[in-house]
Structure 1
Amino acid sequence: MQLYHHPYSLDSQKVRLALEERVVDYTSYQVNPLTGKNMDSSFFRMNPSAKLPVFQNGEHIIFNTAEIIQYIERIAVVSSGGGKITVSSGEVVEWMNKIQEWNPKFFTLSHIPEKYRLFISKFMRRVVIARMSEFPDLASAYHRKLRDEYETEDKLKNPEVLRRSKKHLVSLLDEAETKLSETSYLVGEEFTMADVMFIPVLARLELLNLQDEYINSRPNVAEYWNGVKQRPSYKKVIGRYFNGWRKYKTLLKTWCFLQIRSKLSRY
């Protein structure tokens, strides 16, 4: 089993948490979307959407995050020989889908300083153009990605798009706050795949330094967040990259790489 992912990718974090929690072995392939590695022809031929993560088991390839996690659960059940591990209940799946409905893309980009965001966007457009000329058989698919880059910038100028994204997030957090006033986790007293889906959302808010507005203002969510950060899976998948000074190291490394590639015009 192979997983194509990256620590920056929120959906990748969800899948890796599931793999760690269910103790499923896999081969890890990091694909950094900020440096355009997801546009490399080998990856792009497998997944023309260029989105992460991608899970592959033999010839079976899955792109949908929720479907990957449910597939991992089924693998874990078979591996355990029908022991304590069971597949997610209907309520857990309902929460998983509810969390997955919130797209973090525009919310995240809107909280990145414009000069950095535009620099990365310009770099990505040049990467796509370079790949179009290198691989003419993929030109139409690359062209769609180029169009997507321009459309993203246009949508970021629309206050209504950002307002809807924030409203959706607030609604999700408020519902979680209510639920966590009754139970230790999102679905009862046991940690489930619903929590696996929710943790990266909170991690993204903390990475953007928005924890006071969105997490700490909700006491039950804040207590829950402090607790789940102690789990070994969190420390391995997210904490090792973004806790404290580590997030600056992680981001600085990528930023320097982009600067060097841009100055050398190597895309």
Structure 2
Amino acid sequence: MQLYHHPYSVDSQKVRLALEEHDVDYTSYHVNPVTGKNMDSSFFRMNPSAKLPVFKNGSHIIFDTIEIIKYIERIVVVSSGGDRISLSSGEVIEWMQKIQEWNPKFFTLSHVPEKYRLFVSKFIRRVIIARMAESPDLASAYHSKLRDAYDTEDKLRNLDVLKRSKEHLVRLLDEVETKLSETAYLAGEEFTMADVMLIPVLARLVLLNLEDEYIGSRPKIAEYWNVIQQRPSYKKVIGKYFKGWKRYKTLIKTWCFVRVRSMLKRY
């Protein structure tokens, strides 16, 4: 089994947490979307949406985050003969879908300084154009991604889009706060795949230095967050990259890569 992902991708974190919680072995491939690696023809042929993560088991390829997690569960159930684990309940699936409905893309980008965001956006557009020239048979799919890049910038200038994204997040967190006042975890007294879906959302808020506003202001979520950070899966998938100076290592390395490539006009 192979997973194409990036440590800072929210959906990638969800899948990796599921893999670690179920103790599933897999081969890890880092694909950095900020440097345009998801636009390389080899990856693009496998997944023309260029989104992360991508899960591959033999010839079976899955792009949808929830479907990947369900597939992982089925693998574990079959391998254990159904003795160690059962498939997620309806309540767990409902929470998974509810969390997945919030797209962190615009919320995240709106908190990145504009000069850096625009610089990276320009770099990625040039990467797409370069890959389009290298692989003319994929020109149509690459052109679609180029339109998406321009569309993203347009939406980031639309205050209503950003407002809706924030309001959606607030509603979700308020609902989570209410639920956690009743149970220890999101779908009951046991850790489930619903929690796997929520953890990266909270981690993203911490990365953006918004912990006080969105987590600290909600006592039950704050308590839950402290507990979650003690789990081995969290430490391996997220904590490893967020602790101390490591929090900035990947970002600095990525930024230097983009700057140098732009100066050399090598896309």
Aligned residue for 2:75, secondary structure, equals helix
Give 1:118's aligned residue.
118
Deviation at 1:80, TM superposition (A): 1.4
1:211-222 equivalences under 5 Å are 211-222=211-222
Q: Percent identity?
A: 80
Deviation digits for residues 223-243 of structure 1, max 9, x if unmatched? 000110110000100111112
Distance 2:49 2:150 in 1: 15
Deviation digits for residues 78-111 of structure 1, max 9, x if unmatched? 1112112111000000000000000000000000
Moved more, 254-263 or 96-105: 254-263
Give 2:132's aligned residue.
132
Query: Normalised by the size of structure 1, how large is the TM-score?
Result: 0.99
Counterpart check, 1:70 vs 2:70 = yes
Letter in 2 for 1:171: R
Give 1:178's aligned residue.
178
Counterpart check, 1:82 vs 2:82 = yes
Counterpart check, 1:155 vs 2:155 = yes
Distance 1:247 1:135 in 2: 36
Letter in 2 for 1:85: I
Distance 2:210 2:2 in 1: 33
Counterpart check, 1:196 vs 2:196 = yes
Give 2:109's aligned residue.
109
Give 1:94's aligned residue.
94
Aligned residue for 1:223, secondary structure, equals helix
Aligned residue for 1:215, secondary structure, equals helix
Tell me which stretches of 4 or more aligned residues in structure 1 moved more than 6 Å: none
Native 8 Å contact 1:242 1:250 kept in 2: no
Gaps of 5+ in 2: none
**Aligned residue-pair number:** 267
Aligned residue for 1:4, secondary structure, equals strand
Query: Normalised by the size of structure 2, how large is the TM-score?
Result: 0.99
Deviation digits for residues 192-222 of structure 1, max 9, x if unmatched? 0000000000000000000000000000000
Give 2:52's aligned residue.
52
Distance 2:73 2:244 in 1: 32
RMSD between superposed Cα atoms in Å? 0.6
Native 8 Å contact 1:10 1:204 kept in 2: yes
